[in-house]
Amino acid sequence: MATWTFLGLQDGASPLMEQLIFFHDHIMVVLIMIITFVGYMLASVLTNSLINRFMLEHQTIELIWTAVPAIILIFIALPSLRLLYLLDEVNNPSITLKTVGHQWYWSYEYSDFLNVEFDSYMTPTNELDLSGFRLLDVDNRTVLPMNTQIRIVITAADVIHSWTVPALGVKADAIPGRLNQTSFLMSRPGLFYGQCSEICGANHSFMPIVIESVNTNSFLNWISSYSD
């Protein structure tokens, strides 16, 4: 999870988030090269009184400053399109999780199991353990197995919300009367925190998300104990 003064992206906990981080780094390299070159040219123009009289009206320089940006855009667009299609792909999910946004809490339903559904509220500050995180911990965590393709179906009961977990690279709007779906696969165990990312009213800041990634046996034990 992000900490104070942390300016980078969170460590990826899913293959999709790792690809998003790679793409971010790729764009940053391109931007640094462009900024360095433009900065050098500006400094050169401001400090140098000499000019090239053959370049004042010349086709070569016009060809260069048209072709080079087009090539740079191609190097940005191709990985971007690939990533867009990867994010939109749902690959034979093993588990379906239904999420409903309310003012101001989340409801979860494990559609593949009978009578496994619960509400998840933010834990009040006065009830937090010493190891808890203010505004991020919840009373009922969403337990899911790692290394398993998971489909999440998202909707809302009142206003527009947004179900977002940065470490998983997942962000999907919860819209009343409409079902949105996305999928992810968690590559490691742990706790992954998120929050509603759509302004949804007075307590918008107080509806966090906590995903607990466990191994398959622990998940099955949790499901069986919950069903009992």
Domains in the chain: ranges and CATH = 13-48+56-86 (1.10.287.90), 93-223 (2.60.40.420)
- Mean pLDDT, residues 134-154 taken together: 92
* Total residues belonging to the chain: 228
- Mean pLDDT, residues 210-226 taken together: 90
Virtual torsion, Cα 19, 20, 22, 23, nearest 10 deg: 120
pTM (2 decimals)? 0.83
Digit-coded pLDDT (tens) for 73-107: 999 999 999 998 888 888 888 999 999 999 889 99
Residue 65: predicted pLDDT: 84
Cα gap 158→225, rounded to integer Å: 31
Cα gap 169→188, rounded to integer Å: 14
* Helix, strand or coil, per DSSP, at residue 96: strand
- 149: CB partners within 8 A, 6+ apart: 91, 92, 93, 94, 95, 183, 185
Cα gap 167→163, rounded to integer Å: 13
Virtual torsion, Cα 84, 90, 95, 100, nearest 10 deg: 60
Q: Model confidence at 32, in pLDDT bands (50, 70, 90)?
A: very high
Cα gap 191→104, rounded to integer Å: 21
Whether 172 and 198 have beta carbons less than 8 Å apart is answered as: no
Token pair listed for 167 = 């470490």
Q: Is residue 50 pLDDT above 80, yes or no?
A: no
**Which residues are 172's β-sheet partners?**
163
Cα gap 19→174, rounded to integer Å: 24
